[in-house]
Chain A
Amino acid sequence: MSIDKETARRAAHLARIAVPEDELEKLAGELSGILGFMEQLSEVDVEGVEPMTSVTPMRLKRRQDVVTDGDMPKKILSNAPDAREGFFAVPKVME
């Protein structure tokens, strides 16, 4: 299936990536090409086939719900582009 400019805009928004208006057409073309390639999957009979969620037959491990690590705010914040008073700082979220 081919996707139009509006769908490309939606995909970009879902991915939180700014795409300039004049590049949406080209992006729609590229995404259509990739989705076209994926279309081959519709030829496969998947009736009754379980979707794979784990490639090795292992049970998801469990552990006690306890604190195992922590108390290192300085380390957590050390790579932040903007950190103040022990917090990550971001632009105003609400007016």
Chain B
Amino acid sequence: MSELNALTISAARDKLRAKEITAVDLTNACLDAGGDALNVFAVRTPEIALAQARAADARIAAGDAPDMCGIPLGIKDLFCTKGVTSQAASKILTGFKPEYESTVTTQLWNAGAVMLGKLNMDEFAMGSSNETSTYGPAINPWRRKESNVDLTPGGSSGGSASAVAADLCLAATGTDTGGSIRQPAAFVGITGVKPTYGRVSRWGVIAFASSLDQAGPMTKSVRDAAIMLEAMSGHDAKDSTSAEFAVPNFEAALTGDIRGKKIGIPKEYRLDGMPDEIETLWAQGADMLRDAGAEIVDVTLPHTKYALPAYYVLAPAEASSNLARYDGVRYGYRAKLATGEGINEMYERTRAEGFGPEVQRRVMIGAYVLSAGFYDAYYRRAQRVRTLIKQDFDKVYASGVDALLTPATPSAAFGLGEMADADPVEMYLNDVFTVTVNLAGLPGVAVPAGVDAQGLPLALQLIGRPWEEGDMLNIAQVLEDAAGFVSKPAKWW
């Protein structure tokens, strides 16, 4: 495959700087890559892309070329982009064109990156299969062997995952509240990073659960993730939870040397009924790191089993508050009212018609657990359990462990519609290995490491120490090199 759209960020950067290709060529290759059958784009922005590409070429010609200069990206629909519809894949934000640009995308455009369009996702990032989107689900470019059943790319950053895996862009932004970058990255065989809470500004990213949300890169390699994460990171006065730390050169941290690193294997992540293939992959991953000179140690995170129930109290509680702003007054959709109907009918019908079923459920659960009489029993208790979950990690890291190795997901990608009759709680189990990381505010990365018997990608997750994304990515790079995952989905779209 020699098409330019199949390049990694690092390869494209080197070719752009060597003047072997232009940003306009690269952008055109992405614009011509098609992929409509995958339903990944909510909106395409070719005019913006070409204007940015021409500007990038001028910068490169002038010798001013940051790493991301001229790199065509897809942007999750959750990011506000000035003058370009930003709907969080919800009907309630129909036609919303922000008057402002999110900090993350501002930094990317300032670094010379190119926007190809906005990408499909689960509505308000609530979902693990992209099936709650008002645009209909994005489709995974991967298929099971000898099957033409459409599979989910995971969620909520499903469009970002599919777009990167199918080479419709070089990389994409995602956001991760309980696993929404790492689970889709795992389902399509790409790299996805959830940074430490506070590393990346949340300003201009449509809020789901503010104490858990972080944006991060979804890329074709660990090196690309390091490059793009650096461009997305940094203190922002407009986000009061953004950390005032200098951003390290993450790419420079990729030395490939992990001798003496201590990698923890948390025993609580060994689930009953977990597929053997995932168990095997996990053991192989540990062997790869051991072969590279790391020390593998067993560790315990005793409150792991309570992470999902705590998350499903806290995230809906925060969502019910954040989503209160969608009331039919300031932006987006407003229900048509009959004569004599007043403001309460406007609120209640706008939200009933504008929010999909999963968002409605979560907003109602959130309102319920925050209501008088239940606040202490649910919300406050969940906040205390969250403290215990974080303390579990603190203890492990205090014992000298550098990172933890776990599976990324409890299964490979499943078929679209296969979970339609399942209990909502069954869908929540997709996040079982990822959600602890959000609750503890830690960095995590999903790295593709193999395929299952059906030929679908499987991934491992590394969880790093707070603010040590560079060290975590260095270990991820070793895993990537040792696993040698280079498979691409056979093109059918």
Please tell me if A90 contacts chain B, counting CB pairs below 8 Å.
yes
Asked whether, in the complex, the Cβ of A17 is within 8 Å of the Cβ of B352, the reply is: yes
Asked whether, in the complex, the Cβ of A17 is within 8 Å of the Cβ of B364, the reply is: yes
Instruction: Give the contact-size bracket for chain A.
Output: 35 or more
Asked whether, in the complex, the Cβ of A80 is within 8 Å of the Cβ of B211, the reply is: no
Asked whether, in the complex, the Cβ of A80 is within 8 Å of the Cβ of B329, the reply is: yes
| Complex CA–CA separation, A46 to B343 (angstroms) | 42
Query: Which B residue sits closest to A42, measured CB to CB?
Result: B381
Please tell me if A66 contacts chain B, counting CB pairs below 8 Å.
no
Shortest distance from the beta carbon of A9 to any chain B beta carbon, whole Å:
10
Choose one: A27, A33, A50, A52; the contact of B423 (CB below 8 Å).
A33
**Which residues on A sit within 8 Å (CB–CB) of B144?**
none
Please tell me if A78 contacts chain B, counting CB pairs below 8 Å.
yes
Asked whether, in the complex, the Cβ of B329 is within 8 Å of the Cβ of A90, the reply is: yes
Chain B window 376-418, contacts with chain A (Cβ cutoff 8 Å), 1 for yes, 0 for no: 0110111111111010000000000000000000000000000
| Complex CA–CA separation, A30 to B377 (angstroms) | 19
Asked whether, in the complex, the Cβ of B365 is within 8 Å of the Cβ of A35, the reply is: yes
Q: Which of B128-136, B301-309, B453-461 contacts A (4 or more CB under 8 A)?
A: B301-309
**Which residues on B sit within 8 Å (CB–CB) of A38?**
309, 312-313, 369, 378, 382
| Complex CA–CA separation, A72 to B387 (angstroms) | 42
**Which residues on B sit within 8 Å (CB–CB) of A84?**
none
Asked whether, in the complex, the Cβ of B371 is within 8 Å of the Cβ of A14, the reply is: yes
Chain A window 10-50, contacts with chain B (Cβ cutoff 8 Å), 1 for yes, 0 for no: 11101111110000000100110111011111111010011
| Complex CA–CA separation, A40 to B440 (angstroms) | 19
Asked whether, in the complex, the Cβ of B197 is within 8 Å of the Cβ of A56, the reply is: yes
Asked whether, in the complex, the Cβ of A17 is within 8 Å of the Cβ of B348, the reply is: yes
Please tell me if A79 contacts chain B, counting CB pairs below 8 Å.
yes
Asked whether, in the complex, the Cβ of A52 is within 8 Å of the Cβ of B383, the reply is: yes
**Which residues on A sit within 8 Å (CB–CB) of B387?**
49-52
Shortest distance from the beta carbon of A37 to any chain B beta carbon, whole Å:
5
- Which residues 298-347 of B have a CB within 8 angstroms of A? 303, 305-306, 308-310, 312-313, 320, 324, 327-334, 337, 341-347
Q: Which of A12, A38, A43, A82 has the most CB of B within 10 A?
A: A38
**Which residues on B sit within 8 Å (CB–CB) of A67?**
none
Contact A16-B312, Cβ < 8 Å, known A80-B329, A92-B342: no
How many residues does chain B have at the interface if contact means C-beta atoms less than 8 Å apart? 74
Query: Which B residue sits closest to A8, measured CB to CB?
Result: B364
Please tell me if B351 contacts chain A, counting CB pairs below 8 Å.
yes
**Which residues on A sit within 8 Å (CB–CB) of B390?**
52, 55
Main secondary structure of the interface of A (DSSP, over half): loop
Asked whether, in the complex, the Cβ of A44 is within 8 Å of the Cβ of B306, the reply is: yes
**Which residues on B sit within 8 Å (CB–CB) of A39?**
309
Please tell me if B425 contacts chain A, counting CB pairs below 8 Å.
yes
Asked whether, in the complex, the Cβ of A55 is within 8 Å of the Cβ of B441, the reply is: yes
| Complex CA–CA separation, A72 to B100 (angstroms) | 12
Query: Which A residue sits closest to B314, measured CB to CB?
Result: A52
Q: Which of B97, B355, B365 has the most CB of A within 10 A?
A: B365
Asked whether, in the complex, the Cβ of A11 is within 8 Å of the Cβ of B367, the reply is: yes
| Complex CA–CA separation, A14 to B369 (angstroms) | 11
Choose one: A17, A33, A54; the contact of B355 (CB below 8 Å).
A17
Asked whether, in the complex, the Cβ of B333 is within 8 Å of the Cβ of A46, the reply is: no
Asked whether, in the complex, the Cβ of A14 is within 8 Å of the Cβ of B423, the reply is: no
Asked whether, in the complex, the Cβ of A46 is within 8 Å of the Cβ of B425, the reply is: no
Choose one: A16, A37, A40; the contact of B351 (CB below 8 Å).
A16
**Which residues on B sit within 8 Å (CB–CB) of A91?**
337, 341-343, 345-346
Asked whether, in the complex, the Cβ of B305 is within 8 Å of the Cβ of A40, the reply is: yes
Asked whether, in the complex, the Cβ of B331 is within 8 Å of the Cβ of A46, the reply is: no
Asked whether, in the complex, the Cβ of B365 is within 8 Å of the Cβ of A11, the reply is: yes
Shortest distance from the beta carbon of A63 to any chain B beta carbon, whole Å:
8
Asked whether, in the complex, the Cβ of B388 is within 8 Å of the Cβ of A15, the reply is: no
Q: Which of A8, A39, A49 has the most CB of B within 10 A?
A: A49
Query: Which A residue sits closest to B327, measured CB to CB?
Result: A16
Shortest distance from the beta carbon of A55 to any chain B beta carbon, whole Å:
3
| Complex CA–CA separation, A8 to B310 (angstroms) | 21
Please tell me if B270 contacts chain A, counting CB pairs below 8 Å.
no
Query: Which B residue sits closest to A74, measured CB to CB?
Result: B99
Asked whether, in the complex, the Cβ of B385 is within 8 Å of the Cβ of A18, the reply is: no
Asked whether, in the complex, the Cβ of A46 is within 8 Å of the Cβ of B384, the reply is: yes
Choose one: A14, A46, A52, A55; the contact of B367 (CB below 8 Å).
A14
CB-based closest 5 A-B pairs: A55-B441, A51-B383, A79-B331, A81-B334, A18-B348
Chain B positions within 8 Å of A, measured between CB atoms, are 95-99, 196-198, 211, 237, 240-241, 243, 303, 305-306, 308-310, 312-313, 320, 324, 327-334, 337, 341-349, 351-352, 355, 360-361, 363-369, 371, 377-378, 380-388, 390, 423-425, 428, 439-441, 466
